[in-house]
Amino acid sequence: MARGISEFKSKLTQGGARPNLFMVRLNFPNELSSVIDFGTIDANSATEKAQFLVKTAQIPASTIGSIDVPFRGRMLKVAGDRTFEPWSVTVLNDGEFSIRKAFETWSRGINALTENVSQLGYGDDGQGYTCDLEVFQLSRDGKKPDKTPPNITAAGNDGMDVVRAYKFYDAWPSALSAIDLSYESNDQIEEFTCEFQYNYYEVSNPTLDLSLIHI
């Protein structure tokens, strides 16, 4: 069977998934604003801005360990335990430091700057210092892979549907990168990276709830 360019094109559905068609939903603990002074912004504002200002993210990675079992000069490979890699995002820093301040406040609530104390306990999603986060891979042609019409249509959504959605459970920020400052940094926007730890991820229902997403 010939494998020409036409057949290759037919297999590359939607022209291939594009790494720049994505959106991230960053949530923040419900108790953040009541336990700690959140400044001039609130968690909802930071969540809304993050949908536009998260510059890079990743589809998550995980690894299943291997157990080597020797037997009569041969090595049997047995599946071990699954581990999940940390997840990180790179954020464009707006002039109000909105998301940066939210992360700094969240981190301070987990462990204070001047004392080894925590103002936020460990609880279910949003009730302690952990939250569930999501990353969405968006389609390019406004249809899901099975060519059914988009299940989300709204002004400003550009007709793009969600192809794949990953949900991170019980996430919290473990590392917040520095922001480099320099007199020589012209024509640039500040950016920073935040790394999250989480218990596990799942492929969630690939739909966007418009009541939770600002588009």
For the entire predicted model, the pTM comes to 0.81
Beta bridge partners of 148: none
**Given this model, what pLDDT does residue 206 score?**
59
Domain 15-64+78-203, architecture per CATH: Roll (2.30)
Give the whole-angstrom CA distance, residue 200 versus residue 61: 10
Residues of the chain whose pLDDT is less than 70? 1-2, 33-42, 123-126, 141-160, 205-215
Q: What is the pLDDT of residue 153?
A: 37
Q: Please tell me the predicted confidence (pLDDT) of residue 19.
A: 87
Residue 211, pLDDT score: 47
For position 54, what pLDDT does the model report? 96
Quick one: pLDDT at residue 205?
64
Note the pLDDT of residue 135.
Answer: 95
